Structure formats: structure tokens, C-alpha cells
Structure 1
Amino acid sequence: MTDGFMGPPWQMDWRLDALASRDALPEHVRKMVDEARAELVTAKDPYFRGIDADGGLPETMSVEPVSSTDPKGPRVLYFDNYRGWLVYAFKQRTEDPQIVVVEIFWQ
């Protein structure tokens, strides 16, 4: 990150369909999603770049790029031991950077 960028906690927004999917989940799953959200908005680097960059996450969560050829593209955060995931993008702007959740799934 460069000096001009704000740091955590990051803003988070949801696409409407992703928010509707989250709201349709059972309450105990929504709590896990809230825990995953808390990890994302407080992460120093929401891209989780580098070797073992997601090592600070709880054992039930991990992050990886959607596509290895797009290093600043969307990421997948797995939660509940890979039973669920959310796909997000980090909009890195000088003012008001934010994380946008575009998809959520749990099985």
C-alpha cells in the first residue's frame, strides 16, 4: 500500500443479490459471515498477498485469488472449513477505499 491510502478498518458494501443471499442464510451461518466480514475489514492488506498472507486468519478461514493471473482482482474468502465462501473485490481508492462482496455461498 502507498502512503496516500487510508488503512483499516475498511468500508464494506454488498451487491444486492449477495446481501439477499446472506440474509437468507440460517442465523448461525450469518454469524460466521459476520466473523469473516470482521476479518476482512480489519485486514492490513485485503488482497492477502504473499506467502502465507492469510496465516493470521482463524483456522476455519482462508483467502485466495479467484484467478492467479489477476493479482489485484477478486478474492475468495472461505469460511466454515470451506463449506462457505464469499467473493469480494477491493476498490483501492485514495479516498474511501472499500471492499465489495459480489457473491456468497454456503452449503
Structure 2
Amino acid sequence: MKSSLTPSILSLSVVLGLGLSAASAADETQAELKAQTKITQAEASKTALAKVPNGKIKSEELEKENGKLIYSFDITMPSSKSITEVQVDAKTGKIVSTQVETPKDQAKEVAADKLEKKKK
């Protein structure tokens, strides 16, 4: 007699397996991300700083965003409280985006980050 549970168990195994592989992809380590880059962080920071003359890098991060591997730099200016976020493609070295964040924008981002951490 064949069991009717076998196809169900197989389907469940496939779904769980796909879910785990998606979770693993989201949790790539910095070493794994760095292995995928084509340009160095130093090269990317030089590109980012060229976009914000007289700026100073406050923070930098290698991350995947919208499926792209990027270096993200928060750059401050001596005469401003705003931060310019410059994202550089870690494979091509081209600027992906530049965005000025006011202190109000920065406070919203910090609050959103805290909320995201609580969910995890």
C-alpha cells in the first residue's frame, strides 16, 4: 500500500529547503560579500569622496541592496549637519546613488533600524 503522505512530506521538504537557502543568502557574512567584490573598499571610498569634495567618511558598509553588492558611505561635511550617503557598486566601481540625509532623515533611519532589530 502506498502512503499518501509521501508527496506531502516531499513537498514540505522542498519548501523548507528553499526557505532555508533564501535565509542563508540574506545572512551572508562580510567575508563572503568581500569575496564577490571586484574593487577594493579603498577604491570605492575614493570614488565616493570625489562626489563630496571636502567630505569625511563617517561610516562605511559592504552590503547587498536591491540585489546589488554595494559599498555604502555616510559622508559628513564640516559646514553641515546633513550626511551624504554615496553608494558605489562593488563590482563596477560606479556610483549607484547619492542621497543627502538631513538630521530629521537620520533620526527616522535610526528609529526604523531599531524597529527592524526588534523584529529579529
Q: Pick the TM interval, shorter chain.
A: under 0.3
Between structure 1 and structure 2, the one with the greater Rg is 2
TM-score (norm 2): 0.25
Q: Which has the higher contact order (CA 8 A, sep 6+)?
A: 1
TM-score (norm 1): 0.27
